[in-house]
Structure 1
Amino acid sequence: MANELSNPVFQDAYKARAWLEAALWPDGPVCGHCGAIESATPIATRPSWYQCNACRKQFSVTVGTLFERSHIPLNKWLLAAFLLCASKKGISTHQMRRMIGVSYKSTWFMMHRLREAMREGQFPGPLGGEGKTVEADETYVGGKEKNKHRNKRTKGNIGGKGKEVVFSLVERGGSVRSHHVPEVNAKTLRPILVAQIDRKSFLMTDEAGQYYHPGKEFAKHETVNHGAGEYVRGEAHSNTVENYFSILKRGITGTYHHVSQQHLKRYLAEFDFRYNERSGLGVNDSERATKALKGIVGKRLTYRRTGQRANV
């Protein structure tokens, strides 16, 4: 996929389908029903459809994916994926609607499907490792405008009224993993820390008490005292995760304006994905969009599951 918006795959639905088949089926058609490989016969009366010789069902490249049963042309799906992946701080539904020429409701649903494609079903393994450093911190997003600048260390560590807690782990020079958590305390954060970080890693946090005991389970745990104005002490700092939070907050506040509690996990998946496939790691916009589109396989997201009553 070239990075020009005039690329034929963004303009022609048939070329878009051919591109998607090549991306998802490098070794030939794969049945979306039973998973059989190279066991299909093209259906002459239905272009781009196949008959599975194993389960005897008909399928196309979109069957068994997030695009299944969508009436939106595939070239618009590919264009939307490219635009979302190329926008560092996200792109609003209204802006996307204007650029791809689809109704607001359909565009909103398309973007949630694409975010679902970006969401990792299973993490490949723990972050960090021997000699590597992982930073951990929490931040608060959403809420009323008057609460957006409240100190996050309010009584009980629950943040400002109406805010949601985001807890992120960032491996220096590597990936980020963000979690929407109900509250900030050792009981909530420890299971995430020990499950997502290799115990041989160096853990870097601020001075908050919820990290004190879990930090002892890692090779080394260092903190910086933000309350005393300390942000860097040699290799001890949490600037990497703070930089990630700055991108996340600029996107949510400046682009999306409001993110509901129900959908926050998908927005986090979007920002995590772009960070993990960033240009600093040698990934360009086209490669990022291609990887996102490969994530549509084996997932389904209906309009009903998004919490809406209508059907698309």
Structure 2
Amino acid sequence: MASAILNQPHFQDEGKAREYLEALRWPQGTVCPHCGVIGTAYKLEGTKHRPGLYKCKDCREQFTVTVGTVFERSKIALNVWLQAVHLMCASKKGISAKQLERMLGVTYKTAWFMSHRIREAMTADPKNLLGGPGSSGIVEADETYWGSATAEDGTKYPAKTGGGYSPKMKIFSLVERQGVKRTIHVPNVTAATLGPILKSQVAQSARLMTDEASYYKSIGKHFASHESVNHSKYEYTRGDVTSNTAESSFAILKRGLVGTFHSVSEQHLQRYAHEFDFKWNTRTSLGYNDAMRTDEALKGITGKRLTYRRISWSAAQTHF
């Protein structure tokens, strides 16, 4: 199925890829990234101008469809970029940079950087509180642990400390029942850490559902109701009260981290979490297919830039 989709013109020809992206980003006409005016730019034709170059009649600045996006100033052909976005969006458990390297015919370093740029595009800008009007009104909160945390000086903890396992990275997720998910990499799991996140991301009118952990008890008073299940007594559901949705979302995340990426540093964990949140929020049960998911990711490229300096390639060469 994926190969048939990748046979489409915008995945094979750079000019067609540019036309596809222009139609997606500018459905009402060209938008100048410099002054924001819509529909007044004209195309610069001729051999002296690079393909896809426009000039704004208002501010007189020149631009292309990639200016002001994660694709800006990239030497990678635009159709190759679209292939990479589609491959990441069509891979439920993720696709490694090594696999992208082989499939796209680029270097590993290029594939790694491309994948992080695409994850930046997948990063949502939360606008609405979870569990608010128009939703199921139920928000599940849960935490999980992954890998090995990093000490304050940047060094890895030893494999075992004091006879026990090393501290792990902490991941906290809020999942709206029949809705979207938001995941935050947190330094620790306490009421002081999780409380502000819950209050800023979840509507007060929501029903909050968690496990029996003590740090949720004081936080839960902020919402319409706080209901929990007691895992220590093998209680996982009681009526519609459960945190199973959040836990199932963790299962998909961990299958990707373990089976696809193998090693993800604490420095980059949040960006990987954004990728899996994006896929959860555009899942098939919400009416999305791979092509629609790819278009959603492409709509997120605007206003975002990511440089090698920001993601520190040299510090993350353990990614597979």
TM-score (norm 1): 0.91
Name the counterpart of 1:115: 119
Which one of the candidate residues 285, 297, 302 is aligned to 1:297?
302
Matched, 1:235 2:244: no
Whichever residue aligns with residue 4 of structure 1, its letter is: I
Name the counterpart of 2:275: 270
Give the Cα–Cα distance (whole angstroms) in 1 for the partners of residues 305 and 56 of structure 2: 21
Name the counterpart of 1:44: 45
The CA deviation string for residues 239-267 of structure 1, in whole angstroms up to 9 with x for no partner, is 00000000000001110011111111110
Q: After TM superposition, which residue ranges in structure 1, 4 or more long, deviate above 3 angstroms?
A: none
Which one of the candidate residues 117, 123, 131 is aligned to 1:128?
131
User: Once the 2 structures are TM-superposed, how far is the Cα of residue 160 of structure 1 from its aligned partner?
Assistant: 5.0
Name the counterpart of 1:31: 32
Give the Cα–Cα distance (whole angstroms) in 2 for the partners of residues 223 and 162 of structure 1: 26
Matched, 1:280 2:280: no
Name the counterpart of 2:106: 102
Secondary structure at 1:4's aligned position in 2?
helix
Matched, 1:167 2:168: no
Name the counterpart of 2:153: none
Residues 177 and 160 (structure 1 numbering): CA distance in 2 closer, same or farther, change over 3 Å?
farther
Give the Cα–Cα distance (whole angstroms) in 2 for the partners of residues 161 and 200 of structure 1: 39
Count of aligned pairs: 299
The within-5 A match list for 1:82-231 is 82-120=86-124, 122-129=125-132, 132-143=137-148, 160-231=165-236
Name the counterpart of 1:66: 70
Give the Cα–Cα distance (whole angstroms) in 1 for the partners of residues 31 and 91 of structure 2: 32
User: Once the 2 structures are TM-superposed, how far is the Cα of residue 308 of structure 1 from its aligned partner?
Assistant: 3.0
The CA deviation string for residues 270-312 of structure 1, in whole angstroms up to 9 with x for no partner, is 00000000001110100000010110111111111111369xx
User: Once the 2 structures are TM-superposed, how far is the Cα of residue 162 of structure 1 from its aligned partner?
Assistant: 4.5
Whichever residue aligns with residue 281 of structure 1, its letter is: L
Secondary structure at 2:6's aligned position in 1?
coil
Secondary structure at 2:279's aligned position in 1?
helix
Residues 160 and 126 (structure 1 numbering): CA distance in 2 closer, same or farther, change over 3 Å?
farther
Whichever residue aligns with residue 181 of structure 2, its letter is: V
Whichever residue aligns with residue 123 of structure 1, its letter is: P
Unaligned runs of 5+ in 1: 151-158
The CA deviation string for residues 134-170 of structure 1, in whole angstroms up to 9 with x for no partner, is 10000011229xx9xx9xxxxxxxx952521110000
Give the Cα–Cα distance (whole angstroms) in 2 for the partners of residues 208 and 251 of structure 1: 26
The CA deviation string for residues 225-249 of structure 1, in whole angstroms up to 9 with x for no partner, is 1112111122221000000000000
Name the counterpart of 2:18: 17
The CA deviation string for residues 75-125 of structure 1, in whole angstroms up to 9 with x for no partner, is 1100110010011100011111111111111110000000000001x3121
Give the Cα–Cα distance (whole angstroms) in 1 for the partners of residues 200 and 63 of structure 2: 38
Alignment root-mean-square deviation, CA: 2.3
Give the Cα–Cα distance (whole angstroms) in 2 for the partners of residues 21 and 306 of structure 1: 28
Whichever residue aligns with residue 238 of structure 1, its letter is: S
* Identity across the alignment (%): 56
TM-score (norm 2): 0.89
